[in-house]
Amino acid sequence: MRQISLLIMVLLSGLAVFFSPFRAAPAHAKTAVIVVDIQGDFTTWKQGSLAVPGTDAAFIKKLEEATKRLAEAGFPIFATQDWHPANHISFYTNHPGKKPFEAIQIDGRTQVLWPPHCVQGTENARILLDPRLFLAVVRKGQNPQFDSYSGFQDDGGQKTEMDSLLRQHGIRKVIVYGIATDYCVRATALDALANGYQVIVIEGLCKGVAPESSTKALDEMRQKGAILMKELDIGRIVR
Ligand code: VGL
Ligand code: ZN
pTM of the model as a whole: 0.89
Tens digit of pLDDT for each residue in 77-117?
999 999 999 999 999 999 999 999 999 999 999 999 999 99
- pLDDT tens for each residue of 156-181: 999 999 999 999 999 999 999 999 99
Residue closest by Cα to atom 8 of ligand 1: 183
Q: Enumerate residues 6+ apart whose C-beta is below 8 A from 45.
A: 55, 56, 57, 59, 60, 128
Q: Do the Cβ atoms of 87 and 144 come closer than 8 Å? A: yes
pLDDT band at 3 (very low <50, low <70, confident <90, very high): low
What residue's CA is closest to ligand 1, atom 6?
184
Provide the CATH topology of domain 27-85+119-238: Rossmann fold (3.40.50)
Choosing from 184, 191, 206, 207, the catalytic residue is: 184
Is 37 part of the annotated catalytic residue set?
A: yes
The domain spans of the chain are 27-85+119-238
> Is the C-beta atom of 37 inside 6 A of ligand 1?
yes
Ligand 1 atom nearest the C-alpha of 39 is: 6
